[in-house]
Structure 1
Amino acid sequence: MDHGLRHERAAGDRRSGGRAARAGLPADHAEPDVRILPPRPGERVPPAGHTGGGGGEVGGFGGHPAPAAARRTGGTPVRLPEAVIILVGRELVTAAQADETGPRLAARLSALGCTIRARIFVPDSGEILAAVVRDQLAAGVDVILVSGGLGPTPDDRTREAIAEALGSALQRDETAWEAIERRYEERGRDVPPGAERQALSPTGAEFLPNPIGTAPGFLVRAGRTLLFALPGVPREFEAVFTRSVEPELRRTFGSRVAVASERLHVVGLPEADLHRIVTRVVGEESGVEVHYLARHGEVELLLDCRAERPALARETLAEALAALEKALGDRAYARGDRTLVAVVRDRLQERGWTLATAESCTGGLVAKRITDLAGSSAFYLGGTVSYADALKRAQLDVPAALLDRSGAVSGEVARAMAIGCKEKLGSDVALAVTGIAGPGGGSSEKPVGLVYVGLALPGRTLSTRHTFLGDRTAIRSLAAAAALDEVRRALSGLPPLGQPVPAAEGDEVE
């Protein structure tokens, strides 16, 4: 049944990644995470790399034969659990708000051995949500996970919609109500009108505590289907999923299919270009699945490999990762939980150096990303947002003559900003960003999306030119990522990603 909703197929969807992998693991990196997952009668899941056909070479790795582990044949009759993700909110249906939960949830479910059947966006309509849930129950999927609509306001209709789909009444869960009252008491607030709605759930549902918020989740066992309802706030969703959903899925679906999981972080490549590399390097029959999570000017590849045995899953993933990292080169900067800022921190601390920032078009976004990392005070001194030319002169000693000659958006000024920041704040390394984020302010000579990054390091300076596409938010995010990546590159002995801007005669270059 078509309800006119945003509906994205996730399992085996070539647009969302097909299959891919990540690279040989360095000494300081743990092996891919391996989980053992369920066999269920009815479906053959071949070992990693099995093509399903007879004869010939198994292709996929850049036109070369697949890794040895991926060429093994056979298979164990299993049926992997199917999961459907339902995300509630008009803002998600209309794309007025980016979906932060869906991609990460799909990756976590996939890492637990689930096949993602679909990701569905539903408006704040009890009638539509009930119809969608009813359809998925009728289809016999193993896991339905609904996110959102569990708040205290009248437009939060998830409880009622699920109860309607189940043909059930709502009941008040006293344990849930006590937890809600306790949460408000801990915050020193009175329980607001309507909060009691958050303690309601379909008859027979199991309470799922929310350790950081007021909206608990619940679980309904409907025949073969596990139906979870979780809060829509990403942090709260993650907390409930980790505490309650993941353990339940492990208990329910047993332990006989091995899944090796890993993450690879990529910067400086648009998602479409990255996808072309991934599909060229790692074929669809490699047994390794990839999901793409693009955010903050970077792309995180979420990788899973299913196989009959943990060693086979681990070996296949590691070999495919090696091929992929070789193809990506220095665009792939880290694995696992390491962020771009964490890599910059490590490079600085290897030398005992400190960092300071001077920002114009990014308006403090680089500083925010740095200080999002706990413990950043150990290497980050601080920064300045010098938006107006007057502040560039006053705070960073950028010469007025240079601003008049080259303009605030120029490689020469980016270099001068970095030098002034290094001297004024007393850091070993200084990073500066200036550009045109739009939507206005551009010209044929200096279009919207033009950004210059300046670096001042002990004994040398650097300025690079970058051009980004997108709206103001996207350009600022891409600029912040590019700036941090230029620091990583400079400290790692890599060439700059942007176009180097030579120093003009008379410029201070340290």
Structure 2
Amino acid sequence: MEIQYTKTKMIKLICTGQELLDGRVLNHNQVTIAQHLNAAGYDLGYAVSLPDDTAMIVNEIRRGLNEGAVMIITGGLGPTHDDVTRSAIAEATGRPLYLDEGLLAGLKAYYKRKNKPYPEANIQQAMLPEGSVIWPNLKGTAAGFYISHQNGHLMVMPGVPSEMEAMLTQDLIPKLRDIQPQTNIKEAQCYVFGIGESQIMQQVQSMSQASKIRYEATPWGVKLSYRDPDASIVHQWYQGILAQFKGQLVTEDPDFLTAIMMRLQRQGLTVAIAESCTGGQISQAMTGVPGASAVFNVGLVTYSNTAKHQFLGIDPTLIEHDGAVSETVAKNMAQQAREKSQSDIAMSVTGIAGPGGGSREKPVGTVYMGMATKTEVVVRRYLFQGDRAHIQHQATRQCLLDLYQEIGNE
């Protein structure tokens, strides 16, 4: 996957409000702004939350101006005494506040439409630093504004999420496109499944671009990305990753489950699942993908020993001799599931999820997984850690990783 990004000045986010620091309010604005910037091709390089303290806000703004940064500032534009963002910007830039008559008239008209008396305290919301370009607030009373000062830029928006997001899309992103340099950055992304970040980092150390690789842990694997102005270098990196992890689980699709199902469908393969300790979680994960019926034949939860015999034909004497959690039972579960469902591949899982039921030979977390294909049956033994739910989740994840490994990279 390749995404085009735009190289620009450092973008800094300053979120103001004591409520962000004492836990009263979650800072959803930071996530929203970062997501919109990323979608538009920009990186958020720095973010900080500050209390309603004029001196602290002034210092942060002056630091950004000295760096020639683009500063996005949210919050502190209300009519109360602790809404100090305007005065802090005025002090940091040396631009005195002035009363904008157009904003004042708009505020009075807003309250008139609401059939409410105009509060005199709201005159504060019509005060702006000199040279401000007004960004109208279509959902509230606090207007945003833009200032170009020295080598920096200030983009100021209200802290109310709905008001901020509307202004973000209608004013901030277009203005950012106006002021950014015209240097494009190319990015390639891929996902490596089944191994951790530290192991991946070791494997890519020999690559010349190793120090510029970005890592991001995901529920199923690790996302790798690389950026460079030269598209050929980005392409070279991507091909190098494919070569470095040849035979391992690499895909451009961030949705691991969808990648599995699409790969099975392209290869014309069908699957059956026989579960015990995972209680149907593997089947649920697979059938949660739209179009699963094209590849998913059957899912059996043979939790009890009786069910293993009744639905899969597992010999009770085999269970009695080796135990329900054993290599032989996992092997037979996979074989029988494949034969009875007439599937190309069958997976089986039997284990001890806890908290009880473990022994010295088979402690809690012991899980056997069988895989039956047209040519062989392979059983793997795993030992997972954690509580019952975590062991079940890990077993589900590992079973699907094993399946992905079996169908291979195309």
What TM-score does the superposition give when structure 1 sets the normalisation length?
A: 0.54
For 1:304, the equivalent position in structure 2 comes to 227
1:265 to partner: Cα distance: 1.0
Whole-angstrom CA distance in 2 between matches of 1:329 and 1:492: 10
| Preserved CA contact (<8 Å) 1:358 1:385 | yes
SS in 1 for 2:347: strand
Equivalence map 1:72-221=2 (5 Å): 80-84=9-13, 105=34, 109=38, 112-114=41-43, 116-118=45-47, 127=51, 136-137=60-61, 139-140=63-64, 142-144=70-72, 165-166=85-86, 221=146
Task: Check if 1:321 corresponds to 2:238.
Answer: yes
Whole-angstrom CA distance in 2 between matches of 1:400 and 1:241: 68
Cα–Cα, structure 1 residues 104 and 164, in superposed 2: closer, same or farther, change >3 Å? closer
| Preserved CA contact (<8 Å) 2:52 2:83 | no
1:268 to partner: Cα distance: 1.6
SS in 2 for 1:458: coil
Cα–Cα, structure 1 residues 397 and 278, in superposed 2: closer, same or farther, change >3 Å? same
Whole-angstrom CA distance in 2 between matches of 1:469 and 1:349: 33
For 1:455, the equivalent position in structure 2 comes to 371
1:429 to partner: Cα distance: 2.2
For 1:375, the equivalent position in structure 2 comes to 291
Cα–Cα, structure 1 residues 404 and 479, in superposed 2: closer, same or farther, change >3 Å? same
Amino acid at match of 2:214: H
| Preserved CA contact (<8 Å) 1:325 1:332 | no
Whole-angstrom CA distance in 2 between matches of 1:378 and 1:425: 14
Amino acid at match of 2:336: G
Cα–Cα, structure 1 residues 85 and 167, in superposed 2: closer, same or farther, change >3 Å? closer
Equivalence map 1:285-434=2 (5 Å): 289-305=212-228, 307=229, 313-335=230-252, 337=253, 339-434=255-350
Whole-angstrom CA distance in 2 between matches of 1:385 and 1:85: 52
* Seq. identity, %: 23
1:334 to partner: Cα distance: 0.8
Amino acid at match of 1:274: I
Amino acid at match of 2:269: W
Equivalence map 1:415-494=2 (5 Å): 415-438=331-354, 441-470=357-386, 472=388, 474-492=390-408
1:258 to partner: Cα distance: 1.6
Whole-angstrom CA distance in 2 between matches of 1:220 and 1:409: 66
Cα–Cα, structure 1 residues 376 and 117, in superposed 2: closer, same or farther, change >3 Å? same
Cα–Cα, structure 1 residues 104 and 138, in superposed 2: closer, same or farther, change >3 Å? closer
Cα–Cα, structure 1 residues 138 and 362, in superposed 2: closer, same or farther, change >3 Å? farther
Whole-angstrom CA distance in 1 between matches of 2:206 and 2:22: 33
Cα–Cα, structure 1 residues 268 and 493, in superposed 2: closer, same or farther, change >3 Å? closer
Cα–Cα, structure 1 residues 134 and 381, in superposed 2: closer, same or farther, change >3 Å? farther
1:379 to partner: Cα distance: 1.7
Amino acid at match of 1:34: Q
| Preserved CA contact (<8 Å) 1:340 1:485 | no
Task: Check if 1:266 corresponds to 2:192.
Answer: yes
1:355 to partner: Cα distance: 1.8
Task: Check if 1:33 corresponds to 2:7.
Answer: no
SS in 1 for 2:404: helix
Whole-angstrom CA distance in 2 between matches of 1:436 and 1:159: 57
1:85 to partner: Cα distance: 8.6
Instruction: Tell me how large the CA RMSD over aligned residues is.
Output: 5.1
Whole-angstrom CA distance in 1 between matches of 2:195 and 2:364: 19
**Runs (5+) with no aligned partner, structure 2:** 89-103, 108-124, 127-133
1:315 to partner: Cα distance: 1.0
Match of 1:225 among 137, 154, 161: 154
Cα–Cα, structure 1 residues 284 and 487, in superposed 2: closer, same or farther, change >3 Å? closer
CA offsets 1:158-190 (integer angstroms, 9 cap, x no match): 99799554569xx9x99xxxxxxxxxxxxxxxx
Whole-angstrom CA distance in 1 between matches of 2:231 and 2:382: 39
CA offsets 1:202-225 (integer angstroms, 9 cap, x no match): 88766699xxxxxxxx97646623
Structure 1 ranges of 4+ moved more than 6 A: 85-88, 101-104, 128-135, 157-162, 202-205, 228-232, 239-246
Cα–Cα, structure 1 residues 242 and 476, in superposed 2: closer, same or farther, change >3 Å? farther
SS in 1 for 2:360: coil
Structure showing greater radius of gyration is 2
SS in 2 for 1:329: coil
Q: Higher helix share goes to which structure?
A: 2
Cα–Cα, structure 1 residues 348 and 340, in superposed 2: closer, same or farther, change >3 Å? same
| Preserved CA contact (<8 Å) 1:290 1:302 | yes
Whole-angstrom CA distance in 2 between matches of 1:158 and 1:400: 71
Whole-angstrom CA distance in 2 between matches of 1:438 and 1:231: 46
Whole-angstrom CA distance in 1 between matches of 2:213 and 2:13: 18
| Preserved CA contact (<8 Å) 2:33 2:168 | no
Whole-angstrom CA distance in 2 between matches of 1:298 and 1:327: 16
Whole-angstrom CA distance in 1 between matches of 2:324 and 2:189: 39
Of the two structures, which has the highest relative contact order with CA contacts closer than 8 Å and spacing of 6 or more? 1
Amino acid at match of 2:383: T
